[in-house]
Structure 1
Amino acid sequence: MIKKITLLLFLCCTTVAFGQSPFSVNGLCIAAPSKVKVDDFVGFIEKDLAPGGINTLILRVDFNYAYESRPELRDDNPLSKADVKKLVAACKKHHINLIPQVNLLGHQSWHGDLGKLLEAYPQFDETPNVKLPENYEWPNPDRLYCKSYCPLHPQVHDVVFDIVDEIVEVFEAKAFHAGMDEVFYLAHPDCPRCQGKDPAKLYAGEINKINAHLQKGGTALWIWGDRLIDGKDSGIGMWEGSYNHTEPAIDLISKSVVICDWHYEKAIPTPAYFAMKGLQVIACPWRKPEVAEEQVAMIEAFKENSTPEMAEKYLGVMHTVWSPADAFLDNYYNPKSEDDPRGSEAACLKAMIAAVKKIKI
């Protein structure tokens, strides 16, 4: 309870300190830049994010860091400690809450390639009998989107918590984003430990285990919210919601977990669902400027028309970028047509920033 209050005070105080946003979170989530583009990204923070009122920056690091605790999990040419400290210094200067992300549980492969974790530790694979295809297509008979690690493997957390602790420390982070989205493989018949178990309990158990580990150091856990929504009854579908029965986990996870609620085609009002469950929530757009504007208006309306207890759960908005950071910067400064997916990401961020600035504090 004390840690939850501390997080709320931190979020509220940062809003006052910035003096630029009516929301506790006015954020951007993007992949960490490549090593050669770190200085360019620092310039982006200085010239655009800070003046735009962005007060929260999630960098998806995954294995793009020269881990010392687990060097076998380094990508080729990863960010060094010195590279990260440049980003940390820029964010500190502008009072931006810098949050690293490493995908846990799901997203341990992409198309025909394993991620570093399962490449180095194949014994952690939830679905060892599902082979990665040479030419990936969706849908496929194995229902393969991305591999997962087995949350019940007795050694998996020894490994992943090493890199979580290291990345939190080097980023001097008050929060950590664990991903946890689009988990299609869980309680799979291939897994001798998970088969036949309740997917919701497995999913909630993993969230709570990660959260308990982070809370030992006073670090907050953030995750994506899609697996906590019933994709069938809501009509939201299998990507923005769950078809594999993980959604009851919403009643089993710690209320201290912060939910990043992504919907990219329209401003679906699921933040109210999370807030009613006692969870802090952030609405997240991607590539449609009008959706970003609608989500800003939605969160503002929810805050204005809620009880104080509910209003504090609506933290704000966060734009998400899914192209590489280097490509995004190029498109941001050299705009493409909004009909081009690369250009629309930049237009969406600019629209979100402009919409938040129009709100009267």
Structure 2
Amino acid sequence: MVGFMLDSARLLESRGYYLRFIDHMAETGCDTLLWHFTDDQGCSLRFDSLPEAASNNAYSKPELRELLAYARDRGVAVIPELETLGHTRYITRSRSDLAELSENDEVFTSLCPVHPRSREVVGLLIDEVCDLFESALVHVGLDEVNFGTHPMTREALASSSSSELFADYIRFVHGRLARHGKRMMMWGDHLLKDPVIAEAIPKDILIANWQYTAKVPDATTPKLTGYGFEVVNCPAMISYDQPLAPGERFALENLRDTARHAREYQTKGVITTIWTPQRFFPDSLWPSAAYAAALMIEGPDALMADVLTRFFEARLGSPVSNGWVNALCELHQVMPMRDPWVAALRVDINELRDDVNLHRTAQQARRIYQALLDDRPDGWLDDRCCRALLLVAELHAHVWERVAAMQIAREDAALLAVSESLGERLSACWDEDRFADDPRKWQPVFPFDRDDHLLIAFDRGTTLLREAVASASRSKA
């Protein structure tokens, strides 16, 4: 099993983008697409039993059947991921009568695991998923679950432990899937933390072991297999700590180390996850996805420069220069982690670490962008990947230049004009493979998503610069 996970729950890409991603998977030898279509922020499928949960532009069942047939014809199995306990605000905020099933208002919440209606609603959703998807596997989430505050849960905890309640709920989901002859798949984070749960649930469940640190903890997979489970390893190109593009010192290292880990422990395979699309532009990730596929299939020693050369020459039908490939590799080397990147985007100077030299970082980013611009391949204007990569490199350079200027109180109209122009192009790029009418483009579902939203965070920085320029102009007057 080798493939990718796409997160359409938080933001839907266009129908055409998903078809192109399936083509890319087939071309690179991948055979599995894990479709994360439900989460707190949305649901990408129109359910008959819960139509109110559907996000804007969600797939109808006929549309999804077309997608599944397209994937099947290209040798790609689509595994649905239906969140069934945690990450289920797509259920509890869909109708007022279901809100009572929610455990709490924390970032990580849960359905009440003992409420009869929780099991009724989830059971019906499972039935629809099993009827619609051909996959023998159904992923049911079960990660980052936080329960214990609901009145019915508190009452149940008087006689049972939280581990026992969790295990009982897992057995319920497992049994519902078994009615349809489906094998259950789930995330492994709670099993790694809690042996009581791990020992009390069926061992035919396939465990997805997600580890998003640069180095994968070696003990995690043996711990899960030691309980008797089969395991698939799940690194991340884009995760909570790695927005915009995968960086050499974090996400790319995670991909390489997971490839090593999977081979060393002979697991069932690797599925590379791509989370939170509001943090990146989809067409800029094709080279990273090609590298991830090479690591999963060829092994951890695959060289990024070689992979990118092959990728672009096949894509463009002509040779590409070493300068272009080397600049792309360097762009990945300097990709920032979440906290400094968000602070720079929003021009939150006080949130930047003292060891970040803004002037030097801006100079480096500008040099990389200029190298990409100077060595761009023939036909780049006709290739949306090349255009997106150049836009990302330009954005990266401008964001650091802008925050560096603001740090020394250099606010000028020319800098503001660049920000405003770039903001318009970012918005247009967003619309190329997304739905311009999706309200999540400018208004995230939850306040805690605002800082990680590329357009919103960049626009906030532009607003601060605009206010500073206006203030400076008034002072001079």
Task: Give the corresponding residue for 1:88.
Answer: 68
Conserved? CA contact 1:286–1:292, under 8 Å: yes
Which residue does 2:120 correspond to in 1? 158
Distance 1:252 1:36, change over 3 A: closer
User: What are the Cα deviations for residues 58-96 of structure 1, in whole angstroms up to 9, with x where unaligned?
Assistant: 111222211112223323332111221222012211222
The one-letter code matched in structure 2 to 1:268 is P
CA contact (8 A) 1:108 1:146 kept: no
Contact 1:292 1:351 in 2 (8 A): no
Question: Relative to 1, partners in 2 of residues 1:64 and 1:193: Cα closer, same or farther, differing over 3 Å?
Answer: farther
- Classify 1:59/1:325 alpha carbon distance in 2 versus 1 (closer, same or farther; 3 Å): farther
Q: Which residue of structure 2 lines up, in the alignment, with residue 37 of structure 1?
A: 14
Partner of 1:180: 142
Residue among 304, 314, 322 paired with 2:275: 322
Mapped pair 1:302 → 2:265: yes
Q: Within 1, Cα distance between the matches of 2:119 and 2:260? A: 40
- The TM-score, its normalising length taken from structure 1, stands at 0.70
Alignment size in residue pairs:
279
Please list every run of 5 or more consecutive structure 2 residues that lacks an aligned counterpart in the other structure: 238-250, 301-477
Structure 1 alignment gaps of length 5 or more? 1-24, 133-143, 231-245, 304-313, 334-345
1: distance between equivalents of 2:97 and 2:37?
A: 18
Structure 2 distance, partners of 1:268, 1:36, is 33
**1:191 deviation in Å?**
3.4
Q: What whole-Å deviation, never above 9, does each CA across 1:192-245 have from its counterpart, x for those lacking one?
A: 443333111111111111011101111111111001112xxxxxxxxxxxxxxx
SS of residue in 2 equivalent to 1:184: coil
Larger Rg: 2
Distance 1:28 1:107 in 2: 20
CA positional deviation for 1:274:
0.9
Larger relative helix fraction: 2
Cα distance 1:90–1:193, how it changes in 2: closer, same or farther (>3 A)? farther
Comparing 83-92 and 29-38, the one that deviates more: 29-38
Aligned equivalent of 1:97? 77
- CA gap 1:190/1:70 in 2 versus in 1, 3 angstroms: closer
Q: Distance in 2 between matches of 1:290 and 1:36?
A: 27
Where 1:268 maps in the other structure, the secondary structure is coil
Q: Aligned residues: percent identity? A: 24
Correspondence for 2:153 among 191, 194, 207: 191
C-alpha contact (below 8 Å) 2:103/2:147 kept by paired residues: yes
What are the equivalent positions in structure 2 for 1:63-142 lying under 5 Å apart? 63-109=43-89, 115-116=92-93, 119-127=96-104, 132=105
Partner SS for 2:153: coil
Residue 352 (structure 1) shift: 2.8
- Cα deviation 1:10-65 (Å, max 9, x = unaligned): xxxxxxxxxxxxxxx1121112387771122112211x111112111111122221
For residues 19-38 of structure 1, the aligned pairs below 5 Å read 25-32=1-8, 37-38=14-15
CA distance in 2, matches of 1:188, 1:158: 17
CA RMSD of the aligned region, Å? Answer: 2.6
SS at match of 2:268: strand
The residue type equivalent to 1:256 in the other structure is D
Q: Which has the higher contact order (CA 8 A, sep 6+)?
A: 1
2:173 aligned with 1:210: yes
SS in 1 for 2:82: strand
Q: Residue 247 of structure 1: CA displacement?
A: 4.2
1:353 to 258, 272, 293: 293
**What is the aligned partner in structure 2 of residue 237 from structure 1?**
none
Q: Is the 8 A contact 1:272 1:302 kept in 2?
A: yes
Partner of 1:8: none
Could you say if the C-alpha distance between residues 117 and 247 of structure 1 is closer, same or farther in structure 2, counting changes exceeding 3 Å?
Answer: farther
Which structure dedicates a bigger proportion of its chain to strand? Answer: 1
